Each structure stands twice: as structure tokens, then as C-alpha cells.
Amino acid sequence: MKLVVMKFGGTSVGSIDKINNVANIVEKELNDKKLIVVLSAMSGVTNKMQEYIDEIESNEIIENDLILTSGEAVSVGLLSAILKKRNIKSIPLLGWQIPIITDSNYQKAKILNIDKNRIDQFLKNYDVIVVAGFQGVNIDGNITSLGRGGSDTTAVAVAAAVDADRCDIYTDVDGVYTTDPNLEPKAKKINKLAFEEMLEMSSTGAKVLHTRSVELAMKNNLTLQVLSSITKQSGTFVVDENKLIEKEIVSGVSYSNNESKLTLSGIADKPGISATIFGLLANNNINVDMIVQNTSQDGITANITFTVPNSEIHNAKKLIEENKKLIDFKSIETDTNISKISVIGMGMMSQSGVAKKMFTTLADNSINILAISTSEIKISVLIDKKFTKIAVKSLHDAYNLGSK
Ligand code: ASP
Ligand code: MG
């Protein structure tokens, strides 16, 4: 018997009407199969829970994750009850009931194990099991959350554990686009893209899928489909690169305003300085993304610029200032008004001139590049935030990504 995992995001279960619509999709899909349906909380609920936590200024990690993951109990309860009314054999399950075992990194827990035998048992007795996304249980029996947007990761982890035939991620857009359609109306839906491309897109700002869910799908070679719960047309398939007939040189342009820039001037230009700075940041769990170093005119001192998540910029600055003696720099400067623009494509690996086109396009629009970083299939640049829209639009045009 076929087994399909379907995941519905917050907007797809945002009201009773919408949950009824999900029940319709589930009922239609069920036919000759067994289904595992993973749900997010109704849209806005997790934000509301976070507001409550902030309001009482709670630093209680156990309580916070319990509160944060509570919305998923409501959505799985509602859907399962509606399915039962339609005489579908369904059961609602929270993370701990399966169980989905995680580590103890509250708020960003990683899934360690999912009990396949227990899921098989449930599937013997029920046709649909409705699973709460975003939550698990740790070794102490406490509830943990997987990080915001984490129910995608629950869906992929469950699909991999039971070796599902398919994993469909239903959302409020009908697929992955060449860029954000809100910013560039000419953006086109992509039919198929490689795991690697999706991974780069997710981690550089495209908000369609939780980054860890893509990593997990890639590791397990599990094809994902991203599609809309409203239009019901086929969506975007995220597949192994061998399944791509043609590799696009550039398949998308993404942007992110989530990073801030820090510049240290007048540091000694000698071995070991970078190791000291970045060692310090790493030891304090501050993730560094882009790095640029240049030697100053005198050849004795250098400047280093790097980016960290917005949420870490104050910590990073404080840490470096506290260690001024060790690093020995003249001045420190931070900038939060920046944007990272990335172009991504598998075909880049075998094609030259992609970077040149990016830099020329930005230059033609008088946009100054503050930092650059690359991978085999991605080029990212840091620019002034106010140029985000024009940069994205002109690059989208330059690589001919728009609808014809
Ligand atoms: N409800 C959680 C959140 O809002 C998980 C998810 O939606 O994937 O982050
Ligand atoms: Mg989501």
C-alpha cells in the first residue's frame, strides 16, 4: 500500500474553513493509500505564543517550548475530528506520542530518532495519522521545539523514517519562484530544482522551506513537492541533481535583510589574527557568514569586515570590545542597513561569466558591493539595503528569469 506524507503550513490551516479544505485534499488523496498528515499551528498562533513569552519575560526554556508548540495540538485535533466526521479512520498525535526524539537544544532542537515501528502500528489501525509538526520530546521527557518553521522538518524526517513514496509540502504559494513575487511580479514558478539549489535558496533568504528540511531530504534522497493548498496545480519538485534534465546556469535570485556587518579597522597584519577573532566568535556560538579582509595602505595594518545574524550583532560587538587587548584593533564599526543578494544555479559549476554578469549589472545600477562570498553554485554580495529591490529586479532581468 502506498504511503504519502503531506504537510500543511499555518496559512493552510488558518481557519475552520481552511481546515475543511485540507480535509477535502486529504480525503481525495486517501483513495488507495495511507497518509501521514503533518500540520503547523493555525497562522499567527505561534507568534502569539512568543508574544506571551516575551510579555512575562520568561527565560524558562522548558516552559517556553511547551508554550511555543501548543498551537500544533489545536490544529491536529481539529483536522482529525473533522476527518472522523467524514468516517475516515484518523488519529491525532503529538510529537511525544510517536515519539519524535530530539536533543535538548530547546528552541532549536534536532531530531535524533523517530520510532518507525510505532508509526507502522498506528498505520495498521488508522488510514490517516495527523502529526503535530515543529515539536518533539527529549531524553528527560520534556517537549522541545525545532525552530520557527520547523514543521517542514518534521514532515521530511517522518517521511524519511517510514520511507514514504512521496512528501508533499502544501503552502500558500504554488511553488518555489525565481525570486520573491512580491518584490518582482515577473518572477516565475520553477518546475524542478536540485536539493543543492533549494538549500542555497533557503539559506540565503527564500522563505519557502525550512533549511533543515531540505538538508534532510537531500541526505535521504527524498523528492519533495512544494505546492499550494488552494490552486491544487502541480508545484515545484525538489529533486536529486541527476534527475534534472537541464541544469539552469542561474535558477533564482534571493535576498535577505537578516544580517549585519561589522568592520574592525587597524588590526595588525600578521598570522593568527583571523584565527583569534573568528575563534572567539565561534566559541560564543556566533555564526559568521561573509568575510572580507584588506590590507591598508601602510601594509602594516589591515581591516576585516564580516557579517553575523542581526540578532547577534550586539553580542559580537561586545565580545570583540571586551577582547580589545587580545585582538588589538583601532576602531570598530557596525552597520545594520545592509542586504545580501544571491544568485543561485547548478549550471554555474560548468559555466564562466556568471559573476561578471552579476557585478556588471550591479555596477550599471550604481550599486556598490560591500562584500562577496561564493560557493560552487552561488554568488552572494552585500549591498546597501536601500538598493535591495533594484538589485533583485535587475539581476532577475539580467539572467532572463522573468516570464517571457
Ligand atoms: N508553527 C511553527 C512556526 O510558526 C512551526 C511551523 O509553522 O512550521 O514557526
Ligand atoms: Mg513554513
Tens of pLDDT, residue by residue over 126-153, are 999 999 999 999 999 999 999 999 999 9
Number of domains comprising the chain: 1
Establish whether residue 10 lines the binding site of ligand 1, counting it when its CB lies within 6 angstroms of any ligand atom: yes
Answer yes or no: is 18 within a domain.
Answer: yes
Residue 372 · residue 290 · CB < 8 Å: yes
Answer yes or no: is 225 within a domain.
Answer: no
Residue type, 103: D
Answer yes or no: is 53 within a domain.
Answer: yes
Give the cell for residue 323. Answer: 577582547
Establish whether residue 95 lines the binding site of ligand 1, counting it when its CB lies within 6 angstroms of any ligand atom: no
pLDDT tens column, 68-119: 999 999 999 999 999 999 999 999 999 999 999 999 999 999 999 999 999 9
Establish whether residue 41 lines the binding site of ligand 1, counting it when its CB lies within 6 angstroms of any ligand atom: yes
Residue 370 · residue 263 · CB < 8 Å: no
Answer yes or no: is 161 within a domain.
Answer: yes
353 has pLDDT over 60: yes
Residue 343 · residue 204 · CB < 8 Å: no
404 has pLDDT over 60: no
Establish whether residue 70 lines the binding site of ligand 1, counting it when its CB lies within 6 angstroms of any ligand atom: no
- pLDDT range class, residue 247, cuts 50, 70, 90: confident
Q: Where are the beta strands (DSSP E) in 86-231?
A: 90-93, 100-102, 111-114, 128-132, 135-137, 143-145, 166-171, 192-194, 224-228
Residue 124: give the domain boundaries. 2-172
- CATH code, 67: 3.40.1160.10
State the maximum Cα–Cα separation within the chain, in Å, rounded to a whole number.
79
Q: Give the nearest ligand 1 atom to 154 CA.
A: 8
Answer yes or no: is 386 within a domain.
Answer: no
Answer yes or no: is 184 within a domain.
Answer: no
Answer yes or no: is 194 within a domain.
Answer: no
Measured CA to CA in angstroms, residue 367 lies from 72, 195, 252, 362, 384 at distances of 44, 31, 20, 5, 8
- pLDDT range class, residue 246, cuts 50, 70, 90: confident
Answer yes or no: is 334 within a domain.
Answer: no
